[in-house]
């Protein structure tokens, strides 16, 4: 029998998984997880909920009217599920606005200027009109440090280190290259530059600039910082080689306004046997403002709400309390994640585990786990139950930004892990729209999350 048909029989109920001797991987669990997948694939609501969130509201940057609309939408949507409790957690968030569309142009010593697609990095100051200066290109911090002062002072520093395409896990490449975006303006200011230009964090070669959070240091000047599309970065690099004395003109009107009151949205099903033990599952409700925030992180929000719906719809009432949290302000502050952890600690709540979906709504692969080795091994005993759905990869690794503040309060932090190969093509760009999400992939992900939370609720850690 072909392997694909054998797997199909196992999943369809015509055969059962060959389970370990562990009491935690029982035949009944296999049946119940199949019920969850059936409900998700036949009657799932994640995709339609995402259509509403992205189509009716769109981008939801913290502090914006759209972010408040998303809070209202999340609360109403969870109330319709008939949960035991739905409520808001107040949190103050930063309010940065992009302003008018950014403009940039390469000005060669001779010939016509070349317009480039750029976007301000999140949190950047504006340029106060048109800012024009020379450009110096670097790929590493060591290169910047080695440049004579007169080569940098009064110029734009152009950070042009690409993501490493050799890595199979694209998140690793993103993490390594991300220091340019986060710290480029600070390091450029230390050398007397007037601005920072950063190659977009993507392996794709296109004209979409990628925004994202950056930081300032009060000890040095706050410089305007912009991301160039990868095509634009390549073009600037080539023109610099031919004309090192060219100049770059940038115009951005972004600014930071006063903080705004916002909210985490929380819905929960109270545990039937151990209600005081809490399992959290969540995604972040805010998004960048360039598009609809579909994969980042509308998918994580609707999957987290779907976990609660799937448990109710299949009659698998959790034995421990399960909370879905739509966190506010992951993108530029993590205020929502910090507030959730702060309130949990103040209330002396007992948190068993926390799960986050913030890697897009692509095909599920499994889960990443931040926990002691013994706890990781315990969770890995459940891998056979997820193998028929191709989501049985349970590995140690980073779980999620919004749940990270819970470290020390929970036994395990768990990240939903899906295929990442296309994620950074659209991450933080104008291309992160609903049409990029596949219904079946999205619903499979919610089922994977619900299946693991079912097991955590039943057996604990």
- Give the residue numbers marked as catalytic: 330
Can you list the alpha helix ranges (DSSP code H) found in 120-252?
A: 141-146, 149-152, 170-190, 230-242
Phi-psi region of 129 (alpha: psi -120 to 50; beta: other; left: phi over 0): left
**Widest CA span in the chain:** 76
Pairing relationship of beta strands 393-396 and 364-370 according to DSSP bridges: parallel
How far is it, in rounded angstroms, from Cα 88 to Cα 79?
Answer: 12
Number of Cβ within a 10 Å radius of residue 381: 17
How far is it, in rounded angstroms, from Cα 200 to Cα 428?
Answer: 10
Burial (CB < 10 A; 0-12, 13-18, 19+), residue 347, is: exposed
| Contacts of residue 150, Cβ cutoff 8 Å, sequence gap at least 6 | none
Instruction: Check if the beta carbon of residue 59 is closer than 8 Å to that of residue 290.
Output: yes
How far is it, in rounded angstroms, from Cα 450 to Cα 308?
Answer: 8
| Contacts of residue 360, Cβ cutoff 8 Å, sequence gap at least 6 | 295, 296, 299, 418, 420, 422, 423, 427
Buried b / exposed e over 255-273, threshold 16 CB at 10 Å, is ebeeebebbbbbbbbbbee
How far is it, in rounded angstroms, from Cα 33 to Cα 27?
Answer: 10
Instruction: Check if the beta carbon of residue 209 is closer than 8 Å to that of residue 429.
Output: yes
Name the token pair of 290: 């360039």
425 three-state secondary structure: helix
């Amino acid at each position: 029998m072909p392997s694909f048909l054998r797997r199909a029989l196992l999943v369809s109920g015509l055969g059962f998984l060959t389970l370990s001797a562990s009491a935690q991987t029982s035949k009944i669990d296999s049946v119940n997880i199949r019920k969850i997948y059936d409900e998700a694939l036949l009657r799932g609501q994640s995709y339609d909920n995402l259509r509403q969130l992205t189509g009716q509201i769109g981008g939801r940057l913290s502090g914006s009217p759209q972010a408040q609309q998303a809070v209202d939408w999340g609360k109403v949507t969870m109330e319709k599920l008939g949960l035991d409790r739905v409520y808001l957690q107040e949190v103050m968030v930063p309010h940065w606005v992009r302003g008018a569309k950014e403009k940039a142009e390469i000005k060669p010593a001779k010939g016509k200027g070349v317009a480039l697609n750029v976007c301000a990095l999140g949190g950047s100051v504006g340029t106060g009109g048109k800012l024009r200066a020379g450009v110096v290109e670097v790929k590493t911090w060591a290169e910047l440090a080695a440049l004579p002062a007169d080569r940098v002072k009064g110029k734009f520093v152009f950070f042009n280190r690409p993501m490493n395409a050799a890595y199979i896990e694209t998140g690793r490449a993103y993490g390594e290259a991300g220091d340019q975006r986060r710290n480029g303006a600070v390091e450029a200011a230390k050398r007397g530059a007037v601005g920072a230009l950063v190659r977009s964090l993507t392996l794709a070669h296109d004209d979409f600039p990628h925004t994202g959070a950056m930081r300032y240091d009060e000890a040095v000047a706050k410089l305007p910082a912009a991301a160039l599309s990868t095509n634009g970065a390549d073009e600037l690099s080539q023109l610099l080689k031919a004309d090192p004395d060219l100049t770059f003109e940038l115009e951005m009107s972004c600014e930071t306004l006063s903080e705004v009151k916002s909210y985490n949205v929380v819905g929960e099903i109270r545990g039937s046997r151990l209600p005081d033990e809490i399992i959290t599952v969540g995604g972040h409700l805010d998004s960048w403002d360039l598009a609809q925030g579909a994969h980042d992180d509308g998918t994580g929000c609707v999957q987290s709400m779907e976990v609660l719906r799937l448990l109710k719809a299949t009659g698998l009432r959790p034995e421990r309390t399960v909370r879905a949290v739509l966190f506010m302000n992951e993108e530029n502050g993590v205020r929502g994640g910090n507030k959730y952890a702060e309130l949990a600690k103040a209330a002396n709540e007992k948190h068993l585990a926390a799960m986050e979906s913030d890697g897009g709504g692509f095909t599920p692969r499994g889960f990443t786990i931040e926990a002691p080795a013994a706890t990781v091994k315990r969770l890995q005993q459940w891998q056979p139950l997820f193998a028929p759905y191709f989501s049985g990869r349970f590995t140690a690794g980073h779980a999620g930004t919004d749940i990270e503040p819970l470290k020390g309060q929970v036994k395990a932090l768990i990240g939903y892990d899906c295929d990442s190969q296309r994620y950074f093509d659209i991450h933080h760009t104008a291309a992160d729209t609903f049409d990029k999400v596949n219904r079946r992939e999205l619903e499979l992900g919610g089922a994977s999350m619900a299946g693991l939370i079912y097991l955590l609720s039943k057996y604990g850690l």
